[in-house]
Amino acid sequence: MKKNFFKNKNLLITGGTGSFGKALVEYLIKNKFQLKKIIIFSRDELKQYEMSQNLSVKKFPNLRYFLGDIRDKERLQYAVKEVDIVIHSAALKQVPASEYNPFEFIKTNILGAQNVIEACINSNVSHVLALSTDKASSPVNLYGATKLCSDKLFTSAQNISGKKKIIFSVVRYGNVMFSRGSIIPQLLQEKSLGYFSITDPNMTRFNITLNESINFVLNSLTIQKGGEIFVPKLPSYKLLDLCKAIDEKCKIKIIGVRVGEKIHEELISSIEARKTLEFKNFYIILGNYEDQSIRLPSRKDKFVKKNFCYNSEKNKNFLSIKDLNKMIYK
């Protein structure tokens, strides 16, 4: 990783008290990234207080805790003053909640994304990277639809940035292991009941650890050119295998697919495949922007095959029960 890229720069993380944001700050401190400032921007004062108990400004003078909501453009504009890099991880994420509270998800995930973009353009921010989700590819629920809209806003932002030297990109990946609200903590709680509640026995999911997501985001920042979506190559797992990895003696209770839930997730659709480049450990979905010279495929770049689809069911790389068990109980 090109750590010099971050030296003496100011970084702002929206949703900085979430699972990703908190882990990212801890990683940057532990690995001694020489950032001038790390600004933790979030709307939850309790989470900021709790985070500051371990990561205090007194102990780490380059930390700043900034209370605010990405829905509040004026507050966001103030927060990004003198900021060089923005990692946008703030979002409403729970699928069932999105189906019953659509206006709230639109305000945060779409209008909030627009506020982030406009605030960054109006300031001297040079690099912006937004976090997305596998649910944004061929979405079937409102959460996925709002994140697809967010992806489109960030990848198209190069068109409206004018002559300003600012780069917008997106990182899209699957389920983060042990993140807040994810399936593994839920199944570990159910273990004591003697059964696991799952929606469908055929379900598969992509998997990425928090550290893997952090490394991928930081690496993507150092190579972004503008308008692209970075997608890591990830392993999949079968939901039934995950249950067996936690406790093979527990019974399985099938509760049925929830509203807006997919049986298999997707990171790259067959439509997006038309403009997807493949590299050793990741893919890049090229953006739609006026200045095509920003990223023109070189002779060494390789497009994926026609009708390619990066799907958790058809993935070549699957985690075994033993692999999952080691990851859960390490």
With a CB cutoff of 8 Å and minimum separation 6, the contacts of 257 are: 199, 200, 263
> Reduced to 3 states, what is the DSSP secondary structure of residue 12?
strand
With a CB cutoff of 8 Å and minimum separation 6, the contacts of 127 are: 84, 85, 86, 166, 167, 221, 224
Give Cα 112 distance to the centre of its chain. 15
Give the type of residue at 193. L
Residue 72: closest CA among 64, 82, 80: 80
Q: Give 160: exposed, middle or buried? Use CB within 10 Å, 0-12, 13-18, 19+.
A: middle
Q: Which residues are designated catalytic?
A: 135
In this structure, what token pair is assigned to residue 101? Answer: 């509270």
The whole-angstrom separation of Cα 117 and Cα 128 is 8
